[in-house]
C-alpha cells in the first residue's frame, strides 16, 4: 500500500508537473520577449543618437571668405596716440565704415613691406572710444590726445610723442 500510494503520488506529481510545465515555458517565453523588446528599443535609441551625433559633427562650419585678407597690425585708440614707447612712429587714422578698406590695407601692407621704416600704428575711428575725436576740421597742432581732431583718412608722424607731420593728402606718397 505504501508503494501504491507512492506511485499514485508520483503519477499525480508528474501530471501536475506536466500541467505546470507549459505555464512555466509560457512565462519564460513572455520574459524572453520582454528582454528582446527592451534590447531592440535600446538598439534603436542608440542608433538614433549615433546618427544625430554624426549628423551634427559632420556639419562643418561654413568657410567665410573675405575679399580682403585680414592684415594684423597694431591698433590703438586715439587717446593712446601720444603715449607710445617708440621714439619715432606713425599713426594711420581711418574709418572702417567710410574709407575704402582696400586702400587702407594696401597702404599698410605696402609700408610694412619696406625694409627701413618707422613703426606704424592704426586707429579705427569708427570704434566707440574714438568717435569723440572725429571732426569736420583737423587740429594739426594738438599737443595731447584730448586736443586731437581727425577729419577723414589721416597719417600723423610722431617723434618724442609730439606731432611732427600731419598728412591728409597723398598718404601713399608719404609712406613710400
pLDDT tens track for 109-150: 888 888 888 889 999 999 999 999 998 988 888 999 899 999
> What pLDDT is stored for residue 107 in this prediction?
85
Q: Map out the domains of the chain as residue ranges.
A: 1-64, 74-175
> What pLDDT is stored for residue 65 in this prediction?
59
Tell me how far apart the alpha carbons of residues 93 and 112 are, in angstroms, rounded to a whole number. 16
One-character DSSP codes across 39-89: HHHHHHHHHHHHHHHHHHHHPPPPPP--SS-----EE--GGGTT--SSSEE
Sheet holding 119-124, edge to edge: 74-75, 119-124, 88-94, 154-159, 162-167
pLDDT band at 158 (very low <50, low <70, confident <90, very high): very high
pTM for the model: 0.57
pLDDT tens track for 28-82: 788 888 999 999 999 999 999 898 888 777 766 666 655 555 444 588 899 999 9
Q: Give 123's strand partners.
A: 93
Q: Give the mean pLDDT of 14-31.
A: 68
Domain covering 74-175: architecture? 3-Layer(aba) Sandwich (3.40)
Amino acid at each position: 500500500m505504501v508503494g501504491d500510494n507512492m506511485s499514485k503520488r508520483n503519477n499525480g506529481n508528474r501530471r501536475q508537473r506536466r500541467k505546470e510545465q507549459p505555464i512555466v515555458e509560457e512565462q519564460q517565453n513572455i520574459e524572453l520577449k520582454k528582454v528582446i523588446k527592451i534590447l531592440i528599443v535600446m538598439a534603436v535609441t542608440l542608433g538614433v543618437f549615433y546618427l544625430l551625433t554624426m549628423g551634427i559633427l559632420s556639419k562643418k562650419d561654413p568657410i567665410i571668405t573675405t575679399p580682403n585678407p585680414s592684415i594684423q597690425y597694431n591698433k590703438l585708440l586715439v587717446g593712446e596716440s601720444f603715449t607710445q614707447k617708440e621714439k619715432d612712429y606713425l599713426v594711420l587714422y581711418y574709418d572702417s565704415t567710410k574709407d575704402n578698406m582696400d586702400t587702407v590695407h594696401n597702404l599698410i601692407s605696402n609700408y610694412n613691406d619696406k625694409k627701413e621704416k618707422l613703426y606704424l600704428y592704426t586707429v579705427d575711428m569708427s570704434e566707440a572710444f574714438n568717435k569723440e575725436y572725429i571732426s569736420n576740421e583737423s587740429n594739426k597742432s594738438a599737443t595731447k590726445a584730448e586736443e586731437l581732431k581727425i577729419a577723414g583718412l589721416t597719417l600723423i608722424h610722431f617723434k618724442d610723442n609730439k606731432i611732427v607731420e600731419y598728412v591728409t593728402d597723398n598718404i601713399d606718397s608719404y609712406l613710400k
